[in-house]
């Protein structure tokens, strides 16, 4: 099956710093989503981005489907950005999402 690798596994930032999270996948995908899981376990969808670039406030994401990777940028990080960021992909419209192991982000005040 498709492999999804996220890096780095852990990241500690000072409040106000910027960061880049990476997601590599092993096959062509038609669906890629980024999620944030808060400390209480709630998964929030950040982006649906099988290709191209999107921005939402301090967050932006870029997927280069031909090179099989996606990047999530977090600017001016805040303590509320802490949690685990997951990348999930699927091969086709009829197959379920496969999740990476996540990047655990800790933002320190």
User: Could you list the residues that contact other proteins (CB under 8 A)?
Assistant: 30-31, 33, 35, 40-45, 48, 86, 88, 90, 92-102
Nearer to other proteins, 1 or 14 (CB): 1
User: Which is it for the CA torsion 37, 42, 43, 45, positive or negative?
Assistant: negative
Return d(Cα 57, Cα 51) in angstroms, integer: 19
The residue (of 17 and 97) whose beta carbon lies closer to other proteins is 97
Pick the closer one to other proteins by CB: 14 or 57. Answer: 57
Strand partners, 99: 88
């Amino acid at each position: 099956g498709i492999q999804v690798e996220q890096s780095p596994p852990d990241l500690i930032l000072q409040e106000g710093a910027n960061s880049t999270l990476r997601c590599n996948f092993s096959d062509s995908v038609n669906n890629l989503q980024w999620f944030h899981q808060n400390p209480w376990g709630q998964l929030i969808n950040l982006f649906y981005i099988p290709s191209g670039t999107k921005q939402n406030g301090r967050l932006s994401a870029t997927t280069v489907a031909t090179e099989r990777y996606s990047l999530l940028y977090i600017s001016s990080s805040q303590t509320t950005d802490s949690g685990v960021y997951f990348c999930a992909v699927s091969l086709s419209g009829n197959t379920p999402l496969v999740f990476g192991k996540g990047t655990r982000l800790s933002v320190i005040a």
